[in-house]
Amino acid sequence: MSINAAGMKKVWVMCLVQNESTRRTAEDFMAQRRPGIIFPTYERYPSEIMKDHADLINDGIAKSGYEAIIIMRLVSKDQATSYVPGTSPSYYGGWHGYYGYASTYYYDPGYYRTDEFYNIETNVYSLTNDKLLWTGMTETMNPGTVQSAIREIADAISQQMRKEGFLVEAQ
């Protein structure tokens, strides 16, 4: 028997990152995907309280009457540099044809590119049974903005949950 999230009525979402603005954006975005079911934790449990009062927060969340909590955590931020080779026109007929062909192009030199990779771990825990229900790891590369990165991650998580039968549309 597989457990799915379709019957859940109240779910917390908590994003564990250092930047408070990123946390709020991520939690709000996730809550917007299932309004009235998923609720952000940042209003009730601001980051400055979370740092020093883990026991109180654990107790408060456990006794909140919510059924589950989604916890997202930045696992790593990596960079990779790669060389992108240049291009030049290729035409091997006569010199006049080559000149006519190549004169409209300029040699495109190669260059080095640095890509950024963000790895996010997402866990869904049952608060009633205190058990891990679902876990996943996502990676996003070169996000343009925090919002686009969060959107990519949320879409990937939702797609994988649906594929595995954990997240099904409510009837």
Instruction: Give pLDDT tens digits for 100-129.
Output: 656 555 566 778 999 999 899 999 999 988
Q: How confident is the model at residue 1 (pLDDT cuts 50, 70, 90)?
A: very low
Question: What is the C-alpha separation between 155 and 145, in angstroms, rounded?
Answer: 15
Give me the sign of the Cα torsion angle 97, 103, 105, 110. Answer: positive
Residue 78's alpha-carbon distances to 113, 115, 156, in angstroms, are 14, 8, 19
pLDDT of res. 171: 41
- What topology does CATH give the domain 11-75+117-163? Rossmann fold (3.40.50)
Type of residue numbered 145: T
2 pLDDT higher than 60: no
pTM of the predicted model over 0.85: no
